[in-house]
Amino acid sequence: MASNLSELAATANALVAPAKGILAADESTGTIGNRLKSINVENTEPARRAYREMLFRTEGAANYVSGVILFDETLRQAAADETPMVNLLTDQGIIPGIKVDAGAKSLAGGANGELVTEGLDGLRERLAEYRQIGARFAKWRAVITIGDGMPTSTCIEVNAHALARYAALCQEAGLVPIVEPEVLMDGGHSIERAEEVTEATLREVFRQLAAQNVDPEAILLKPNMVVSGYDQSNRAGAADVAERTVRVFQHTVPASMPGIVFLSGGQNDEDAIVNLQAIAERGIAVKAPWQISYSYGRGLQAAPLKAWGGKPENVPAAQAAFLERCRLTSAAREATYSAN
């Protein structure tokens, strides 16, 4: 392995070190605006900074958080006392990462409502700059929708192709690519359908990664869990979720890849933890070759966001709520979570 790649493999392994996972705090300006709106806070640059600074200054979180995915604004931002936000993380041994996609846009030639992620133009130059500012890993999210006549094979193929192009550029630039093909949990589909689509998606993603010479030892996969659609009345339980989820990876993911870091996908806090716990247990039972961990956005942030409410006097309560979400999610990742 080239020395560049062995350094990347070391970073990938550090991101999935025992008990640790990733905080996804890379909401684009529109998405963080929706989150802030839910607590009646205006979407301004100081508000975004105050909120994220609250998270990053949480004492003890570094015991559970190996890395944080940032949005472009945050990577370049300074905290209220002028410390670069990146330094708030690196001073605690947390690895800074960066979201580099330009968002999911309507897919020309796809079924109605299908999306393709943009952002490849000029990516080589942006990656070089992000690395220079301090990022050591990156993230690109593709979105696959399950619905009537969806996903089309076109949607899966173009998104997988773009993920592989992104991943190859990241490895060239000295950044570990987190490859995120998210099969949405929204809809009335069965868990069987979720399994089928997730498997087809991952099969194509890893085919494209191999075709474009991406080294599996220096990437992380950020997938959805295989769950029943949110509108299903009789949703599958955690044991079924775990069995199907791990099986899909056994069928598609190279054993040499260091880790799988799940997204939470809008599951409630309890499900995000109970399902992760069941998947981690299943991983141990089948001697899964990869670390099984998390890269949660909402799963770690919903509680602290609510506790914060935009008020400086609530910072300690919000940090306590964040630390607790980190602690519980880390326990689930270690298969040691218990509800009691």
Residues 6 or more apart in contact with residue 217 via CB below 8 angstroms: 1, 5, 9, 12, 256, 257, 258
Residues 6 or more apart in contact with residue 4 via CB below 8 angstroms: 171, 174
Cβ 267 to ligand 5MM, closest distance in Å? 8
Q: Is 176 near ligand 5MM (CB under 6 A)?
A: no
Q: Is 264 near ligand 5MM (CB under 6 A)?
A: yes
Quick one: 32 or 209, whose CB is closer to ligand 5MM?
32
Among 4, 13, 31, 83, binds ligand 5MM (CB under 6 A): 31
Q: Is 264 helix (H, G, I), strand (E, B) or coil?
A: coil
Catalytic residue flag (residue 222): yes
Stretch that binds ligand 5MM, among 12-20, 47-55, 154-162, 297-305 (CB under 6 A): 297-305
The closest alpha carbon to 66, from 134, 138, 15, belongs to 15
Stretch that binds ligand 5MM, among 27-35, 41-49, 60-68, 77-85 (CB under 6 A): 27-35
Q: Is 205 near ligand 5MM (CB under 6 A)?
A: no
For tokens 């899966």, the residue is 156
Catalytic residue flag (residue 59): no
Quick one: 266 or 289, whose CB is closer to ligand 5MM?
266
Stretch that binds ligand 5MM, among 41-49, 203-211, 295-303, 328-336 (CB under 6 A): 295-303
Partner residues linked to 294 by β-bridges: 262
Q: Is 189 near ligand 5MM (CB under 6 A)?
A: no
Cβ burial 275-284 (10 Å sphere, 16+ → b, else e): bbbbbbbbbe
Cβ 1 to ligand 5MM, closest distance in Å? 28
Mask of contacts with ligand 5MM, 134-173, x by CB under 6 A?
-------x--------------------------------
Q: Is 304 near ligand 5MM (CB under 6 A)?
A: no
Q: How many Cβ atoms from other residues are within 10 Å of residue 235's Cβ?
A: 15
Q: Is 24 near ligand 5MM (CB under 6 A)?
A: yes
Question: Which run of H or E residues covers position 178?
Answer: strand 176-183
Among 20, 189, 298, 325, binds ligand 5MM (CB under 6 A): 298
Quick one: 27 or 199, whose CB is closer to ligand 5MM?
27
Q: How many angstroms from the chain centroid is the CA of residue 137?
A: 12
How far is Cα 321 from Cα 317, in angstroms, rounded to an integer?
6
How far is Cα 156 from Cα 137, in angstroms, rounded to an integer?
24
What is the DSSP code (8-state) at residue 106? E
Q: Is 297 near ligand 5MM (CB under 6 A)?
A: yes
For tokens 């300074």, the residue is 78
By residue count, the chain amounts to 340
How far is Cα 208 from Cα 215, in angstroms, rounded to an integer?
12
- Write out the two tokens for 124: 């080589």
Largest Cα span, the chain: 53
How far is Cα 296 from Cα 205, in angstroms, rounded to an integer?
21
Task: With CB under 6 A as the rule, give the number of residues binding ligand 5MM.
Answer: 16
Stretch that binds ligand 5MM, among 11-19, 23-31, 49-57, 203-211 (CB under 6 A): 23-31
Q: Scanning residues 39 to 78, which ones bind ligand 5MM (CB under 6 A)? A: none
Q: Scanning residues 79 to 138, which ones bind ligand 5MM (CB under 6 A)? A: 103
Q: Is 263 near ligand 5MM (CB under 6 A)?
A: yes
**Angle (CA) 202 206 212, round 5°:** 145
Q: Is 299 near ligand 5MM (CB under 6 A)?
A: yes
Cβ 68 to ligand 5MM, closest distance in Å? 11
CB 52 within 8 Å of CB 79:
no
- List of residues contacting ligand 5MM (CB under 6 A): 24, 26-28, 31, 103, 141, 182, 263-266, 296-299
Any idea which residues carry the catalytic annotation? 180, 222
